[in-house]
A and B are shown apart, each in its own frame.
Chain A
Amino acid sequence: MTAAQVIFLITAVLTLGAGVYVVAARNLVHAALALIAAFFGVAVLFVLLQAGFLAAVQVVLYIGAIAILIIFAIMLTRRVMEDTGPQTNRQWWLAGIIALVLFGAIVFSLRLVPALQGVTAAAQPIPTDTIEKLGFAFVDPNQYLLPFELASVLLLVALIGSIVISADRK
């Protein structure tokens, strides 16, 4: 086992553990902090895949913006949001079975993808100019220009909409 594999296993266990804690925790702030830990684990996985840009963006957006806003919202409710009710209902076993079947289906179909069979990290050298390629892909009409611009317009609409909703009319 190489060092990268050891790091991957540790990260994967921590990320999944944090993910389980997000839904299992009774304290909302703890759940949010665990969510941040999970996000961070995903960022580490990106680093292991040599995708430094995605890792940095993951931390900036998901931890720096989204998670902090979530925490800000629930910090206001220190005692109120403490969950005291039961965390499962009678159908938990059904949900568990469906989740397991889905997981099995994903694993099975991934094994069928020929490109993933027998791939090792060394087999495919990673180009060093991935950011440049990503940048050009976003502004190239033949690639992702339209989705990229559509997403920008959608975000702009959301931005203006929130301003319109929150502005006090005189």
Chain B
Amino acid sequence: MDVGTLISNPVVAIREWLAQLLSNLGLAPQAADVILMILGILVIASVSLILPLFLIWFERRVVARMQDRIGPNRVGPQGLLQTIADAVKLLIKEDITPIGADKLVYNLAPILSVIAVISMWAVIPYAATMVGTTLNVGALYLVSVGSLGTLAIMMGGWSSNNKYALLGAFRTVAQLVSYEAPLLLSLLVPVILARSMDLNTIVRAQNVWFIVAAPIAALIFFVTSVAEVGRTPFDLLEAESEIVAGFHIEYTGMKFGMFFVAEFLHAFTVGALTAVLFLGGWRGPGAEQAPILGVGYFMLKAFAGYFVVILMRSALPRIRIDHMLDLNWKFLVPLALAVIVFTVLGDKVIGEAGITSPWARSGLLFLVNLVLAGLVYAVLSGAARRQRAEEAAGQAHDGQGALAEAAAHGEAGPHAAPAH
């Protein structure tokens, strides 16, 4: 085996070596294929399950810094082994099933929530040659397995026989199902730009990162994805101060651990998907020749996205439930629809005009996005001005009413008017 290939393109090299080995052992090529596929599944699933051990430590340290604390730093170098200690603690905890719980559904829910997140990693392109599976409906597949996560949360909340858990499950439906609409719509924009739903093709199409051609769609995608994870500021599903812990209130030990791992991995997946769809995925200098570099670029971009998720978590307060729904249905959904229309028309016009240079195309689409942003700003500021005017009018009216009332009681005078 060529050492250079092994270093620059390890997965493919090892795969070929194994295929050679298996066929030398006398296995039929089909059987060897099945064995290699199962191995691939095991590798991707294990990596994506071991990753949270690091993610949890990383997030706790960053949040601690944001809050002027130090964070876990006792177990292992810089506290790196803290999560392993926590996992051991979770494993030896008593496994409690509450009275009246629906046993089967209750035990199935955490498993399903982990499955939903790991399944997403099957289609993510880590490098030019490293893809779990090439799916020509990759983008749609992401959304479809994501909806299984919603189902897991609802199952957990319903089966726990606990009113807080049930409330958490209801909020889940309100939030996750609503935010799926703009998520899907914003996902369409890179698909339109790349003319494909296959994630690796989308990455290959990004001669210029799609965040340039579709900044608004990238923003919508990022915000709605964070909402899908149920992270602060969208953590209404588990809001500690209102419904204790929401859907996973009754879960103990490793079953709670599975929800926890699923959440952290999902948060990182948000960063990874943003990287794949809008930040050029594995693209970078030399990534085509040496795919191992691509993995590095991809991870770097994914961590950049994940870092922003963490910063949002530690910087923003929880959004109120009516605001959350208003933001979705009155702002994100119409905006996402407008972005699609603008992108499609802009792209078509640019194509008809014969502009093929990727930079010119992206720049023009960026201008289109700017125009749309200006329009949105005008509409929103107009609406806000009207609302302020209405409130001011209402307040003035209230003030006069109070004055009149005070006068009727014989306590006339401006000082008697209550201050609003």
B residues less than 8 Å from A71 (CB atoms): 151, 154, 158
Residues of B within 8 Å of A, CB-based: how many?
28
Q: Which residue in chain A gives the minimum CB-CB distance to B169? A: A75
Q: Is the CB of B144 within 8 A of A60?
A: yes
Chain B 91-134 interface residues, beta-carbon cutoff 8 Å to A: 102, 105
Question: Which of B137, B173, B177 lies in contact with A131, CB distance below 8 A?
Answer: B137
Chain B 139-155 interface residues, beta-carbon cutoff 8 Å to A: 140-141, 143-148, 150-151, 154-155
Question: Which of A3, A72, A78, A131 lies in contact with B136, CB distance below 8 A?
Answer: A131
B residues less than 8 Å from A29 (CB atoms): 102, 105, 158
Say whether B261 faces chain A, with CB atoms less than 8 Å apart. Answer: no
Q: Is the CB of A60 within 8 A of B170?
A: no
B residues less than 8 Å from A19 (CB atoms): none
B154-179, CB under 8 A of A: which get 1 and which 0? 11001000000010011001000100
Q: Is the CB of B137 within 8 A of A65?
A: no
A126-140, CB under 8 A of B: which get 1 and which 0? 001001000000000
Which stretch (A10-18, A49-57, A108-116, A146-154) binds chain B? A49-57
B residues less than 8 Å from A64 (CB atoms): 143-144, 146-147, 150, 180
Residues of A within 8 Å of B, CB-based: how many?
25
Q: Is the CB of A63 within 8 A of B158?
A: no
Q: Which residue in chain A gives the minimum CB-CB distance to B30? A: A3
Say whether A68 faces chain B, with CB atoms less than 8 Å apart. Answer: yes
Q: Is the CB of A57 within 8 A of B154?
A: no
Q: Is the CB of B137 within 8 A of A53?
A: yes
Say whether A59 faces chain B, with CB atoms less than 8 Å apart. Answer: yes
Q: Which of A27, A56, A128: most chain B Cβ within 10 A? A: A56
Say whether A36 faces chain B, with CB atoms less than 8 Å apart. Answer: yes
Question: Which of A30, A56, A69, A78 lies in contact with B141, CB distance below 8 A?
Answer: A56
Q: Is the CB of B140 within 8 A of A57?
A: yes
Q: Is the CB of B158 within 8 A of A59?
A: no
A48 to B339 alpha-carbon distance, docked (Å): 36
- B100 nearest CB across to chain A (Å): 10
Q: Is the CB of A68 within 8 A of B150?
A: yes
Question: Which of A27, A53, A75, A128 lies in contact with B154, CB distance below 8 A?
Answer: A75
Q: Is the CB of B135 within 8 A of A63?
A: no
Say whether B202 faces chain A, with CB atoms less than 8 Å apart. Answer: no
Chain B 178-192 interface residues, beta-carbon cutoff 8 Å to A: 180, 184
A153 to B321 alpha-carbon distance, docked (Å): 32
Q: Is the CB of A60 within 8 A of B143?
A: yes
Q: Is the CB of B150 within 8 A of A128?
A: no
Q: Is the CB of A72 within 8 A of B154?
A: yes
Q: Is the CB of B158 within 8 A of A68?
A: no
- Contact count A vs B, C-beta below 8 Å: 73
- A86 nearest CB across to chain B (Å): 24
Q: Is the CB of A59 within 8 A of B144?
A: yes
Q: Which residue in chain A gives the minimum CB-CB distance to B176? A: A68
Q: Which residue in chain B gives the minimum CB-CB distance to A40? A: B148
A128 to B196 alpha-carbon distance, docked (Å): 13
A residues less than 8 Å from B145 (CB atoms): 59
Say whether B34 faces chain A, with CB atoms less than 8 Å apart. Answer: yes
Known A-B contacts A68-B177, A72-B173, A75-B170; A63 and B147 likewise in contact (beta carbons under 8 Å)? yes
A residues less than 8 Å from B147 (CB atoms): 59-60, 63-65, 68
Q: Is the CB of B180 within 8 A of A3?
A: no
A residues less than 8 Å from B177 (CB atoms): 65, 68-69
Q: Which residue in chain A gives the minimum CB-CB distance to B161? A: A78
- B163 nearest CB across to chain A (Å): 10
Q: Is the CB of B136 within 8 A of A52?
A: yes
A64 to B385 alpha-carbon distance, docked (Å): 39
Q: Which of A27, A30, A33, A78: most chain B Cβ within 10 A? A: A33
- A14 nearest CB across to chain B (Å): 15
A72 to B135 alpha-carbon distance, docked (Å): 31
Q: Is the CB of B151 within 8 A of A75?
A: no
- A76 nearest CB across to chain B (Å): 8
Q: Is the CB of A60 within 8 A of B154?
A: no
Q: Which residue in chain B gives the minimum CB-CB distance to A57? A: B140
Q: Is the CB of A131 within 8 A of B197?
A: yes
Q: Which residue in chain A gives the minimum CB-CB distance to B139? A: A56
Known A-B contacts A72-B170, A131-B197; A36 and B137 likewise in contact (beta carbons under 8 Å)? no
A95 to B137 alpha-carbon distance, docked (Å): 41
A78 to B159 alpha-carbon distance, docked (Å): 10
B residues less than 8 Å from A33 (CB atoms): 105, 155
Q: Is the CB of A56 within 8 A of B144?
A: yes
A residues less than 8 Å from B166 (CB atoms): 75, 78
Which B residues contact A (CB, under 8 angstroms)?
30, 34, 102, 105, 135-137, 140-141, 143-148, 150-151, 154-155, 158, 166, 169-170, 173, 177, 180, 184, 197
21 interchain pairs, CB-CB under 8 A: A29-B102, A30-B105, A53-B140, A56-B140, A56-B143, A59-B144, A60-B143, A60-B144, A63-B144, A64-B144, A64-B146, A64-B150, A64-B180, A65-B147, A69-B173, A69-B177, A72-B173, A75-B170, A78-B166, A131-B136, A131-B137
Other than the given A52-B135, A72-B173, A75-B170, 9 more pairs (CB < 8 A) read: A33-B155, A59-B144, A60-B144, A60-B184, A63-B147, A68-B150, A71-B158, A72-B170, A78-B166
What are the 7 tightest A-B residue pairs by CB atom distance, in nearest-first order?
A: A64-B147, A59-B144, A56-B140, A60-B144, A72-B173, A56-B137, A56-B144
